[in-house]
Amino acid sequence: MIHRGVEFSVTQLVAGVWRWRFQIGDRIFTGRTEAKLDLLAIRRVQLRIDRELNKVGRGRTRGRSDCD
């Protein structure tokens, strides 16, 4: 699946436990989440991707100064 240009995967380990994985740049993120519904597990991964993309975006703008 793809969310905001980031490919990710979610697979069920056992009933109610899901493993997820995605990569942003050189960093690989993995983890597990508990959810009864697959759509809830997917949504949680999408929110995590959003958080990580926001961190990357803030990191890029910290060193810039528009004032001369």
Residue 45 burial (10 A CB sphere; 0-12, 13-18, 19+): buried
Asked if residue 40 is part of any domain, the answer here is yes
Q: Which two tokens stand for residue 52?
A: 């990580």
Range of the structural domain that residue 46 is part of: 2-54
Give yes or no for a contact between 52 and 8, defined as CB atoms under 8 angstroms apart. no
Residue 60 in domain? no
* Token pair in block for residue 50: 């959003």
pTM for this prediction: 0.81
When divided into structural domains, the chain yields a total of 1
Q: What is the mean pLDDT of each run of 10 residues along the chain (68 residues)?
A: 96 97 96 97 97 84 49
Tens digits of residue pLDDT in 52-68: 999 988 766 555 544 54
pLDDT above 70 covers a percentage of the chain that reads 85
User: Which CB contacts under 8 angstroms, 24+ apart, belong to 54-61?
Assistant: 56/24, 56/25
At residue 59, the pLDDT reads: 64
